[in-house]
Structure 1
Amino acid sequence: MTQNPSRDRAKTFFTREEIPDGPLGRMASGRGLGLRRAVLDLERLRDAALGDFSGKRLLELGAGYGLELVQLALKGARAVGVDFSLTRLGRAPLLAESAGVSAAAVVGDCHDLPFRDGAFDVVYGNSILNHLNRPRSLNEIRRVLAPGGRLVVCEPLDRHPLLKPYRRRLKAREGVVSYLAYEELEADLLGGGYELQPLGLTSALLLPPAALGFDGPCWRGAARLLNRLDRFLFRKSAWAGRHAWVCLALYRGRALGR
């Protein structure tokens, strides 16, 4: 099992105005435009894992500037975002207002969530568990989830051969991030079953040009081809899944009376 990152160092790092790693850091963590372009249909896959969330209470962990939070609110979620950083999260209400939706932004700690028990039907996080003390934060997630609720996370994994050299260079992230092994996600965290969907093996080759803004019909055709190849490899090989770029994980909670 990978070591949990330092809570204090993570908090200091993410309450800065800007992430010092820049495009390199965003690329290695699997966040941002590069991820969405290289793994086609990622948002559709995320929404499928979240289920029918229209009208439901949805909490986004590590909501940052609120881009996904507002996107989920536009699709009907009663969305609330929580994050360490007031500097970042303070932009979310303005973004929501400009989009014509309502989304709450709360400064808080994922290790001690400022919400009542059973407050949410869905909890979502993008590249979040790798910055947290997993046992402590998962206990909080279980507490704030309603019976039968679901947790969906999209986590960068620790073994992709292309990304490992980049991650070694991110000295500013030492003690801040601890990438998960695929096996750590293979657990029935909420007691109602789980599904794992590895994403991005050969398609991660497109990550560097995607992070630099490459796009167009030929580029998207290559992405479709590599995504199709990845799906085949994931079906045929456990090794491929364990060495994926990211994993989209869905955990279901037990309903009352079960």
Structure 2
Amino acid sequence: MGRRMDQTFSQSESDLSRVARERDFHNSRFEHDDRDAQLKYYDAIGDCFRAYGARVHELAADADILEYGCGYGDNALRLAPRARTACGIDISDVAIGRGRLRAADNGLSNVRLEAMNAEAMTFPDDTFDLVFGSGILHHLDVERAFGEINRVLRPGGRAVFVEPLGHNPAIGLYRRLTPGARTPDEHPLLKSDFDRFDAAFGASDCRFYGLTTLAAVPFRNSRAKGPLLAVTRSIDKALFTLPACRWWAWYALMEATKVAKA
């Protein structure tokens, strides 16, 4: 597929250097896959990822879908039998190479995985019914990313993402103490980025996860984990009704609809 000839994107030398740093970091990560140290915290936001998975599964039915920042393409491959076509892009050619092998091994003829810059995709306008991703937007120039996602979506198409937030000072301190776990250019999303998300599409909805539930992490291997998560989820649900508190969340589930032009 080629992009529309009237669609032009230029990226500065600093932008291209940032993209190259991201590619090198993620190629190394996918070569070694050494993220176990951080995975222990994700029980605290399990509800977020379950809601994300359920929503993407629902919207993928008989649709042309794109996993944005797909890694090995696991979600695109899993959804391929349900979708009309399933595409995935990632900056890491290492991850894409492995994903293609998995697609071939599973005989998935409607899957296409490409190493591609998410800020300057080569798909034509109005290609997909659904664009989705997990933990990808905060690695990107969000203005470019939102513009590209909107461009490749058909009118009425949906964008669904889960992303970390950058307002909680305790989480910010942890990030500063573990710089090797992330790229130097990534930037957890701020309220201003959510305002841009809403402006880019004209119709958006966000749900927030992970504040007091983080207190359950030290108990993840004990019997106290389940009851503690149940209590803290209820507390978080109440706190996130308050506009000031929701921005202290760790993660958000973001959904937008591309509004048809009048």
Aligned to 1:79: 86
Scaled by the length of structure 1, the TM-score of the pair is 0.80
Write the letter of the residue equivalent to 2:193: E
C-alpha change, 1:63 and 1:191, in structure 2 (3 Å) is closer
- Aligned twin of 1:105: 113
Query: Offset at 1:43?
Result: 3.9
* Higher helix residue share: 2
Instruction: Please report the RMSD computed on the Cα atoms of aligned residues, expressed in angstroms.
Output: 2.8
Query: Quick check: 1:151 aligned with 2:159?
Result: yes
Give 1:57-206 correspondences, 5 Å limit. 57-73=64-80, 75-76=82-83, 78-96=85-103, 101=108, 102-172=110-180, 173=182, 175-187=184-196, 188-206=198-216
The amino acid that maps onto 2:23 is K
* Structure 2 CA distance for aligned equivalents of residues 206 and 77 of structure 1: 40
The answer (yes or no) to whether the contact 2:45–2:251 under 8 Å persists in 1 is no
SS at match of 2:131: strand
* Partner Cα separation in structure 2 for residue 222 and residue 76 of structure 1: 38
Larger RCO: 1 or 2 (CA < 8 Å, sep 6+)? 1
| 1:206 Cα deviation after fit | 3.4
Quote the residue 2:21 is aligned against.
Answer: 9
- In the TM superposition, residue 49 of structure 1 has moved relative to its aligned partner by 4.4
Counterpart in 1 of 2:36?
Answer: 23
Indicate how the Cα distance of structure 1 residues 219 and 62 shifts in structure 2: closer, same or farther if over 3 A, else same.
Answer: same
Q: Aligned to 2:244, which of 234, 239, 246?
A: 239
Gaps of 5+ in 2: 1-14
Residue 153 of structure 1: CA displacement?
Answer: 1.4
Q: Deviations over 1:95-122 (max 9, x none)?
A: 4456665532111110111211111111
Measured in 1, the distance between the counterparts of 2:218 and 2:199 equals: 33
Q: What is the rounded CA distance, in whole Å, between the counterparts of 1:174 and 1:46 in structure 2?
A: 24
Q: Where do residues 218-229 of structure 1 align in structure 2 (5 Å cutoff)? A: 218-229=224-235
Determine if contact 1:39/1:223 at 8 Å carries over to the other structure: no
1:88 counterpart letter in structure 2: A
Quick check: which has more Rg, 1 or 2?
2
Show CA shifts across 1:1-52 (max 9, x none): xxx993332222122244787434xx3xxxx5742x3223334421454453
How far did residue 143 of structure 1 move?
1.5
Cα pair 1:13 1:19 within 8 Å, conserved = no
CA distance in 1, matches of 2:219, 2:139: 26
Q: Normalising by structure 2, report the TM-score.
A: 0.79
Matched residues, number? 242
Match runs of 1:27-42 below 5 Å: 27=38, 34-35=41-42, 37-42=43-48
Q: Which runs of 5+ in 1 are unaligned?
A: none
Does residue 250 in structure 1 map to residue 255 in structure 2?
A: yes
1:183-213 alpha-carbon deviations (Å, 9 max, x no partner): 4213424434110101111112334665xxx
